[in-house]
């Protein structure tokens, strides 16, 4: 269990650190990245009508605080970090579910600027992350046994790698999604193929012949 607890701690801590950094800084200026995240929060069904910038700032600060709490010694601080890590995706997951139920699909900016609309996979991701954080909180309050340095390093590396894959989920899905090539004609049956290519009337055999 000690290796599982360490792996979950590294996964959750690194994931929320990456999320906070991408929202606060991202690939653009600090102001631009924060404004884009504020717009995504405003598009959520559970967002309040007023104080959206304050809510966005509170989310970013909480995401920065989670990895710090997970690094502190003792069971109390890591457990609090895990509970916060479970609460955030739970609230956003509920908001995503309401948005999908209403037919809305705002862009997912959980890990910085993105044009990928929210979908079922984001709801599943948040649900699994909340469940994983609850598991981490339970393991944090239990006494941990001795850990071999090699096993601990392997568990930590596995947690960080899993966090990278979760953060890059949208990019991975887009990479393996089928892309249509330009000027390609979809195969929708014989009728579509006949209408796609219709030979026009050819020139008359003797129309362009020179007169001797």
Count of other CB atoms within 10 angstroms of residue 129: 22
- Per-residue pLDDT, 22: 83
Strand partners, 107: 117
Task: Please compute the mean of the pLDDT values over residues 113-139 and round it to a whole number.
Answer: 87
pTM to 2 decimal places: 0.75
For the chain, the average pLDDT equals 79
Buried b (16+ CB within 10 A) or exposed e, 20-50: bbbbbebeeeeeebbebbbebbebbeebeee
Question: Could you report the per-residue pLDDT of 184-203, keeping only the tens digit for each?
Answer: 444 444 444 444 445 455 55
Question: Tokens 């609309």 correspond to what residue?
Answer: 117
The H-assigned helical ranges of the chain are 2-24, 30-42, 52-71, 76-101, 120-140, 149-167, 169-176, 190-196
Closest to 8 measured CA to CA, from 169, 133, 128, 125: 133
């Amino acid at each position: 269990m000690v290796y599982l607890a360490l792996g979950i701690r590294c996964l959750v801590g690194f994931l929320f650190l990456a999320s906070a950094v991408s929202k606060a800084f991202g690939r653009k200026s600090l102001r631009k990245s924060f404004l884009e995240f504020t717009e995504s929060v405003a598009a959520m069904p559970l967002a309040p009508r007023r104080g959206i910038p304050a809510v966005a700032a509170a989310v970013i600060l909480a995401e920065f605080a989670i990895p710090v709490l997970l690094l502190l010694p003792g069971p109390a601080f890591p457990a609090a970090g895990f509970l916060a890590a479970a609460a955030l995706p739970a609230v956003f997951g509920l908001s995503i579910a309401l948005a999908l139920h209403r037919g809305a699909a705002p862009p997912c900016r959980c890990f910085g600027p993105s044009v990928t609309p929210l979908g079922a996979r984001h709801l599943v991701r948040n649900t699994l992350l909340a469940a994983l954080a609850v598991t981490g909180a339970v393991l944090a309050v239990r006494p941990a046994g001795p850990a071999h340095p090699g096993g601990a390093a392997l568990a930590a590396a596995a947690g960080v790698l899993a966090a990278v894959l979760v953060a890059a989920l949208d990019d991975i899905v887009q990479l393996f999604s089928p892309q249509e090539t330009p000027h390609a004609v979809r195969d929708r049956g014989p009728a579509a193929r006949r209408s796609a290519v219709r030979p026009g009337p050819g020139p008359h055999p003797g129309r362009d012949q020179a007169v001797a």
